[in-house]
């Protein structure tokens, strides 16, 4: 309830030299406390006059601070929610990117397999004609196998003593009999190719056997026939061949 006007009325008294607690005690001890109290209240008014705006501003700023803090808390809550949502979206994004990379890897692997398969198919396409012909040839060989084996066994069993011309004549006679008996055989049958491979013939040639058809047929009869061979060998070629062929098998020769 102290006002500025009251303080102004008191100022003449407050400025007096003897308006103090010590002097008042000397004059009248009962009012000495009142003198001190009026001084304190005047001083309090001066201080409070400066403090009140500060207190009002403090209350205002505290209100603003509380509002800002509330807004900050709300913003922090929203930030936390958005961060959680961002984390979920980031996890979904990472999963989607991982799946995308896996699909890209699978697609690349499939593309490589497809390219390899295409190259293989294109490569095999050129073999189709040959395989078809080979399959047909194999089927013909199966059909003609009995007749071909019969001709081969006849050749091994009976052709040894004869020359090339008579051997061919025997072969033609046998084919005629087989035609009459309806036994299938290959018209282009090569007995030499059927009974021995080229690598063996080459080895025989290195061992001294001549490379003509008659000599190769004689070599087949010597190595394939069940009966021991008797060689009529005026030039000694067969003798040289047998020695070279059997020298690693401990062949003993009586000279």
Domain of 218, CATH number, reads 1.20.920.20
pTM of the model: 0.48
Closest CA to 111 of 123, 122, 103, 99: 103
**Residue 199 belongs to some domain of the structure:** yes
pLDDT score for 255:
61
pLDDT score for 247:
85
**Residue 26 belongs to some domain of the structure:** no
Contacts of 200-207 with C-beta under 8 Å, sequence gap 24+, read: 204/241, 204/245, 207/241, 207/244, 207/245
**Residue 136 belongs to some domain of the structure:** no
- CA gap 71, 60 in Å, rounded: 16
Number of domains the chain contains: 1
**Residue 254 belongs to some domain of the structure:** no
- Nearest-10 crossing angle of helices 237-246, 213-224: 50
**Residue 162 belongs to some domain of the structure:** yes
Domain of residue 220 covers: 145-243
Quick check: helix, strand or coil at residue 212?
A: coil
User: Looking at residue 228, what DSSP letter applies?
Assistant: P
- CA gap 64, 205 in Å, rounded: 116
**Residue 210 belongs to some domain of the structure:** yes
**Residue 209 belongs to some domain of the structure:** yes
Per-residue pLDDT of the chain (255 residues; tens, 9 = 90+): 788 888 888 888 888 887 787 887 877 777 788 888 888 888 888 888 888 888 888 889 999 999 999 999 999 999 999 999 999 999 999 999 999 999 999 999 999 999 998 888 877 776 777 777 777 878 877 888 899 999 999 999 998 888 889 999 999 999 999 999 999 988 888 888 889 999 999 999 999 999 899 899 999 999 888 888 888 888 888 888 888 888 888 888 776
**Residue 159 belongs to some domain of the structure:** yes
How buried is residue 253: exposed, middle or buried, by Cβ count under 10 Å (0-12/13-18/19+)?
exposed
């Amino acid at each position: 309830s102290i006002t500025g006007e009251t303080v102004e009325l008191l100022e003449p008294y407050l400025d007096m030299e003897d308006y103090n607690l010590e002097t008042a005690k000397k004059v009248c001890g009962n009012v000495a406390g009142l003198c001190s109290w009026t001084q304190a209240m005047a001083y309090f008014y001066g201080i409070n006059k400066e403090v009140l705006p500060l207190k009002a501003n403090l209350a205002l700023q505290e209100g603003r601070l509380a509002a800002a803090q509330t807004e900050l808390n709300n913003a922090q809550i929203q930030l936390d929610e958005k961060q959680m949502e961002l984390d979920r979206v980031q996890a979904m994004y990472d999963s989607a990117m991982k799946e995308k990379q896996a699909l890209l890897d699978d697609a690349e692997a499939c593309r490589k397999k497809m390219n390899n398969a295409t190259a293989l198919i294109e490569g095999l396409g050129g073999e189709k004609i040959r395989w078809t012909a080979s399959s047909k040839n194999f089927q013909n060989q199966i059909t003609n196998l009995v007749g071909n084996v019969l001709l081969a066994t006849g050749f091994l069993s009976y052709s040894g003593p004869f020359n090339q011309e008579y051997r061919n004549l025997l072969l033609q006679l046998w084919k005629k009999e087989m035609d009459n008996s309806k036994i299938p055989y290959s018209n282009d049958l090569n007995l030499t190719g059927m009974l021995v491979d080229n690598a063996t013939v080459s080895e025989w040639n290195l061992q001294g056997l001549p490379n003509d058809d008659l000599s190769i047929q004689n070599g087949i009869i010597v190595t394939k026939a069940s009966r021991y061979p008797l060689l009529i060998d005026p030039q000694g070629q067969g003798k040289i061949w047998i020695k070279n062929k059997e020298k690693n098998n401990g062949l003993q020769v009586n000279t």
